[in-house]
Amino acid sequence: MSKKITKICCIGAGYVGGPTMAVIAQKCPDVKVTVVDINEKRIAAWNDEDLGKLPVYEPGLDKVVEEARGRNLFFSTEVDKAIDEAEMIFISVNTPTKTYGKGKGMAADLKFIELCARQIARVAKDDKIVVEKSTLPVRTAQALKSILHNTGSSPAGKEGGVQFDILSNPEFLAEGTAVEDLHAPDRVLIGGDNPEAIQALVDVYAHWVPAANILTTNVWSSELSKLTANAFLAQRVSSINALSELCEKTGADVNEVARAIGTDSRIGPKFLKASVGFGGSCFQKDILNLVYIAKSYGLHEVADYWEQVILMNDHQKRRFADNIVTTLYNTVSGKKIAFLGWAFKKDTNDTRESAAIHVADYLLNEQAEIVVYDPKVTEEQIYADLDYLNTRDEKENRKLVTVVNDPYKATDEAHAIAVLTEWDEFRAYDWQRIYDLMLKPSFVFDGRAVLDREKLKNFGFEIYIIGVGSCG
């Protein structure tokens, strides 16, 4: 018989912790779910009466939070209290790429994970199931076990010591479709070595996920499967992007090629959309981590194979920006370029590793003036993204980049438009009006292949579409 879980705590109220726990609380009204974070502003936003102010924008999330918050879903900064109360603790903190020391630029930085483990060990007075929800390098559970079992007020080895079971339960949700993905996951993956602990977590998900979709494995397979899934997905994007360049040279259309190969049931149609490059907080970080792990085992060919996915992505962002400069008569100095979109994909306000940031940086180095419009990303975030690169000082970024809340303002007197995110609304704009507002010739560089080429050409635009080409 597995233990029935009645109280869950989740450390980390970010893009994963917030939506994941909101859905667990929605589907398991008999379980009290407390999501804790050290970021007071974030917790305050999760508790905001105005559901439009939740810190994570995801379609449908407001409804889920409205249903469960205050009933059995709580957001709090009282981390110790929530750990103490809970039988099951999810760790859903950030695991960014290391920016210092050994493994800099490649390995995952596990300092936040370790801090959580030490805090759990210090606070726990009774047995706990600790669940790795963050994406972690394979064999992290070993490190967690060692910290949990050797520190704290009643170490596990000692008489009366607290027992910790560690499970790996990676999250596969994609941003923009988080609620949909959580409601009907392709699979839930649970890795562990104690069948009772595994069953306790299976029982939580079984409230709404069919048994056939809940996979259980050993803990190492589970940890490695998460990195592998992201590597495979990103590889598909880099593969189609590599071919997008060949399409542009040969007169083929990458969208037609994608359709033609995607109808082969062995290949499948998903993740074959050519773009200005993949972004998001996960793909690059997780592949770099995989490369680092392979290298650390001396598997250099394996490491090189996966690293190529990142190199191709960097190339795609660079060549998109470079094409803008070349087309605008080899200089964008003092020219106004309107950016439509800043988020790394549509239907999210997340900008981490967005291709837009890198394209902007390239063009700013060429002294372009950029005006950004994104339906969900704030001005504060856009400047923070550029400042983080440290390419130029903050004053310069604010001088060269303007953020507006109206697409027509962004395109007014622009030399060119660059489409960096595939927001649906871009298609529905009054493109005749935009054409009239812009300087002539009016260039459009569509990095997401969302616009209607023939329609825009008829208005008079000079148009380039990724994987299709044109524009001189």
Ligand X SMILES: NC(=O)c1ccc[n+]([C@@H]2O[C@H](COP(=O)([O-])OP(=O)(O)OC[C@H]3O[C@@H](n4cnc5c(N)ncnc54)[C@H](O)[C@@H]3O)[C@@H](O)[C@H]2O)c1
> Which residues form the interface with ligand UPG (CB under 6 A)?
135, 171-175, 230, 233, 237, 271-273, 275, 278-280, 282-283, 344-345
- How big is the chain by its Cα radius of gyration, in Å? 24
Taking CB under 6 A as the binding criterion, the range among 147-155, 159-167, 171-179, 237-245 that sits at the site for ligand X is 171-179
H-state helical runs in 153-218: 178-183, 195-205
Q: Identify residues 269-308 at the interface with ligand X (CB under 6 A).
A: 281-282
Closest to 419 measured CA to CA, from 355, 352, 368: 355
Least distance to ligand UPG, CB of residue 110, Å: 16
Q: Which entry of ligand X, ligand UPG, none binds 237, CB below 5 to 8 A by partner kind?
A: ligand UPG
Nearer CB in complex with ligand UPG: 120/237: 237
Instruction: Check residue 310 for interaction with ligand X (CB under 6 A).
Output: no
Instruction: Check residue 116 for interaction with ligand X (CB under 6 A).
Output: yes
Instruction: Check residue 132 for interaction with ligand X (CB under 6 A).
Output: no
> What does the alpha-carbon distance between residue 318 and residue 355 come to, in Å, rounded to a whole number?
9
Nearer CB in complex with ligand UPG: 34/168: 168
Nearer CB in complex with ligand X: 233/360: 233
Instruction: Check residue 164 for interaction with ligand X (CB under 6 A).
Output: no
Q: What is the DSSP string of 199-210?
A: HHHHHHHTTTS-
Whether 223 contacts 141, CB under 8 Å: yes
Residue nearest to ligand X (CB): 14
Q: Which entry of ligand X, ligand UPG, none binds 17, CB below 5 to 8 A by partner kind?
A: ligand X
Nearer CB in complex with ligand X: 85/462: 85
Nearer CB in complex with ligand UPG: 174/242: 174
Say which residues have a Cβ less than 8 Å from residue 378's Cβ, sequence separation at least 6.
Answer: 349
* Residue selected from 10, 12, 248, 325 as contacting ligand X according to rule CB under 6 A: 12
Query: How far does the chain reach from its first CA to its final CA, in angstroms?
Result: 70
- Cross-strand bridge partners of residue 443: 416, 462
Nearer CB in complex with ligand X: 111/457: 111
For the chain, the maximum distance between any two Cα atoms, rounded to a whole number of angstroms, is 80
Q: Which entry of ligand UPG, ligand X, none binds 385, CB below 5 to 8 A by partner kind?
A: none
Q: Which entry of ligand X, ligand UPG, none binds 230, CB below 5 to 8 A by partner kind?
A: ligand UPG
Q: Residue 356, annotated ligand binder?
A: no
Least distance to ligand UPG, CB of residue 94, Å: 12
**C-beta neighbour count of 400 within 10 angstroms:** 16
Whether 428 contacts 450, CB under 8 Å: no
Q: Which entry of ligand UPG, ligand X, none binds 42, CB below 5 to 8 A by partner kind?
A: ligand X
Whether 201 contacts 128, CB under 8 Å: no
> What does the alpha-carbon distance between residue 180 and residue 163 come to, in Å, rounded to a whole number?
35
Whether 438 contacts 465, CB under 8 Å: no
Q: Residue 326, annotated ligand binder?
A: no
3-state DSSP assignment of residue 130: strand
Instruction: Check residue 58 for interaction with ligand X (CB under 6 A).
Output: no
Listing from the earlier edge strand, what are the strands of the sheet with 188-191?
73-76, 32-36, 7-11, 88-91, 128-132, 164-168, 188-191, 214-217
Least distance to ligand UPG, CB of residue 439, Å: 29
* Residue selected from 26, 34, 72, 94 as contacting ligand X according to rule CB under 6 A: 94
* Residue selected from 26, 34, 72, 95 as contacting ligand X according to rule CB under 6 A: 95
Instruction: Check residue 168 for interaction with ligand X (CB under 6 A).
Output: no
- Both structure tokens of 246: 């060949």
Say which residues have a Cβ less than 8 Å from residue 159's Cβ, sequence separation at least 6.
Answer: none
Closest to 334 measured CA to CA, from 417, 415, 411, 443: 415
Q: Which entry of ligand UPG, ligand X, none binds 275, CB below 5 to 8 A by partner kind?
A: ligand UPG
- Both structure tokens of 149: 């079992």
471 is catalytic: no
Q: Identify residues 22-41 at the interface with ligand X (CB under 6 A).
A: 36-39
Instruction: Check residue 171 for interaction with ligand X (CB under 6 A).
Output: yes
Residue 35, burial from CB neighbour count under 10 angstroms (0-12, 13-18, 19+): buried
Nearer CB in complex with ligand UPG: 112/271: 271
Q: Which of 9, 10, 282, 471 is catalytic?
A: 282
Q: Which residues bind ligand X (CB under 6 A)?
A: 11-17, 36-39, 42, 79, 92-95, 112, 115-116, 134-135, 171, 173, 175, 281-282
As annotated, the active-site residues are 282
